[in-house]
Amino acid sequence: MIALLVTLLTVGCFLFLGVGLWVLVEDLWIIEVPRAISQPLKFRILCFAFYLLLKWGNILERLRICSMPHVFQFVCDRLPKTNDPNLMVTNMRFGTIKVRLYQPKETSSSLRRGIVFYHGGGMVMGSLDFYHNVCNFLAQKSNSVLLSVGYRKLPDYHFPVGHSDCLNVTIHFLKALKMYGVDPSRVVVCGDSIGGGAVALVTQALGGRTDLPKLRAQILIYPGVQAINLQLPSYQQNKNVPFLTRDFMFTCFSQYFRVDPCWKDALLTGACIPAIMWEKYKKWVSSDNLPERFRNKNYKPEFHAPFNEAAYLESRQLFDAGNAPLLVEDQVIAQVPEALIVTCEWDVLRDDGLLYKKRLEDQGVPVSWYHAENGFHGCLTFLDGIFSFPCSLNIANAIINYLKNI
């Protein structure tokens, strides 16, 4: 028995070290760490931990032991959390959806600003716990009541559950603002990554509603707002820059939208897009709409492979304007509230934010823009502790400054 245990432990150690070495080699050879990112060693360490977790998640999923999203969620929810003594934090449910309410303890002579926050994570990771420190910071620094939405996600829930949860929670909150001490004229929706896309979808869905308080503003932090043009400059320039490489991005939305991974090349090259659809949407999603500075000499203009009808039928839900907020008609865009859009230079989704910024501006919607030259996708979550980055705090402060004027 002892010999068997020793053998199993030895095999386990070699397996663990082997997977670690595998990830390390991939990290050194494939992952790009831009020179502009400060503290590159810290960035490398975080990348190694992230991809080690991803690799083990995929291994356990193939062995039918545990799904990759569950591995991420289990680990991320156990990371250290900071509690602010000046805030009262309450876990609740709106129906079946978990939410977390952050309220300043200090009494106020007037109703406070309200923030509804949708976290990122590509429907794979992210949670109320993982974003607790971010929400804690935003609520405390802006003296706001903040509601964090724990929408349902992979692997148990697929499109359209996550986005529907965000919309339904927001409607529920808007109907009960005074219960939480929130001024109906000062409600802001905010989110990062896929949560930023949810912000766009929610503001568009509520833009024409007359039975609810009007949203005052929207904050989109490196949002994903389209999947029709994956040949934009940032998709090429930053395809191997963590923490959202182009491959991992495809993994996230293919699982959420139930698109077979075999159609990856068709999506990346535009073979799944009918010519008539491209003609309709290129006025909004073409790289011609980007500022010249974001189209450097290494950029190759987008191209489209011969149309593949099977690929289109498999992935067409990605191009529905109800799922891709960049593709809605002008009259819908014109009704949304003013916005702060945050983009990062070293982010595969950088150009999504820039294109959405232009769409809003073209329809007369006031837009403030903060661009982090040394920022990368997901950097807001590294806001404090030993793994914080200057760009993280800079983005957070830009959001706070914007909120204080609401």
* pLDDT, tens digit, 9 for 90 and up, residues 97-116: 999 999 999 988 899 999 99
Mean pLDDT value of segment 27-37: 76
Write down the pTM of the prediction: 0.94
pLDDT of residue 195: 98
pLDDT of residue 387: 86
Q: Is the pLDDT of residue 301 over 90?
A: no
Mean pLDDT value of segment 184-194: 98
Residue 302 identity: E
Looking at per-residue pLDDT, the higher value among 258 and 3 belongs to: 258
Top mean-pLDDT range of 25-29, 35-39, 295-299: 35-39
Burial 338-376 (b: 16+ CB within 10 A, else e): bbbbbbbbbbbbbbbbbbbbbbbeeeebebbebbbebbb
Cα 373 to Cα 390: distance, rounded to the nearest angstrom: 11
pLDDT of residue 257: 92
Each residue of 114-162: pLDDT tens digit?
A: 999 999 999 999 999 999 999 999 999 999 999 999 999 999 999 999 9
By DSSP bridging, strand 145-150 and strand 97-104 are antiparallel
DSSP per-residue codes, 162-203: HHHHHHHHHHHHHTTGGGGTEEEEEEEEEEETHHHHHHHHHH
Each residue of 227-279: pLDDT tens digit?
A: 999 999 999 999 999 999 999 999 998 999 999 999 999 999 999 999 999 99
Cα 282 to Cα 288: distance, rounded to the nearest angstrom: 9
pLDDT of residue 26: 61
Q: Half-sphere exposure of 105 toward its Cβ, with a 13 Å CA cutoff?
A: 9
Catalytic one among 193, 234, 254, 287?
193
pLDDT-derived band at 14, boundaries 50, 70, 90: very low
Kind plus residue range of the DSSP H or E element containing 8: helix 2-29
Handedness of CA 208, 120, 285, 341 (dihedral sign): positive
pLDDT of residue 385: 81
pLDDT-derived band at 12, boundaries 50, 70, 90: very low
Q: CA–CA distance from 324 to each of 35, 320, 368 (Å)?
A: 32, 6, 22
Each residue of 164-184: pLDDT tens digit?
A: 999 999 999 999 999 999 999
201 contacts 163 by C-beta, under 8 angstroms: yes
Mean pLDDT value of segment 327-345: 97
Is residue 193 annotated as part of the catalytic site, yes or no?
yes
Looking at per-residue pLDDT, the higher value among 90 and 317 belongs to: 90
Catalytic one among 119, 132, 163, 377?
377
Q: Is the pLDDT of residue 296 over 80?
A: no
pLDDT of residue 35: 85
Catalytic one among 183, 192, 347, 352?
347
Each residue of 43-79: pLDDT tens digit?
A: 988 998 998 999 889 999 999 999 999 999 999 899 8
Strand partners, 102: 89, 146
Residue 276: CB partners within 8 Å, gap ≥ 6? none
Cα 143 to Cα 131: distance, rounded to the nearest angstrom: 18
Residue 200: CB partners within 8 Å, gap ≥ 6? 218, 220, 223, 225, 325, 326, 336, 356
Mean pLDDT value of segment 188-197: 98
pLDDT of residue 186: 98
Is residue 347 annotated as part of the catalytic site, yes or no?
yes
Token digits of residue 221: 């932090």
127 contacts 78 by C-beta, under 8 angstroms: no
pLDDT of residue 145: 98
Mean pLDDT value of segment 337-342: 98
pLDDT-derived band at 5, boundaries 50, 70, 90: very low
pLDDT of residue 222: 98
pLDDT of residue 300: 73
Each residue of 367-387: pLDDT tens digit?
A: 999 999 999 999 999 998 888
pLDDT of residue 17: 53
Whose CA is closest to 188, among 140, 233, 234, 139?
139
Is residue 377 annotated as part of the catalytic site, yes or no?
yes
Cα 340 to Cα 338: distance, rounded to the nearest angstrom: 7
Q: Is the pLDDT of residue 29 over 70?
A: no
Mean pLDDT value of segment 325-342: 97
Cα 134 to Cα 22: distance, rounded to the nearest angstrom: 32
Average pLDDT, the chain: 90
pLDDT-derived band at 24, boundaries 50, 70, 90: low
pLDDT-derived band at 4, boundaries 50, 70, 90: very low
Give the torsion through C-alpha atoms of 277, 278, 283, 285, to 10 deg.
110
Handedness of CA 13, 15, 16, 20 (dihedral sign): positive
For tokens 């509520």, what's the residue?
A: 206
Q: What angle do CA 193, 278, 358 make, to 5 degrees?
A: 45
318 contacts 227 by C-beta, under 8 angstroms: yes
pLDDT of residue 109: 87
Beta strand segments in 224-366, E:
338-346
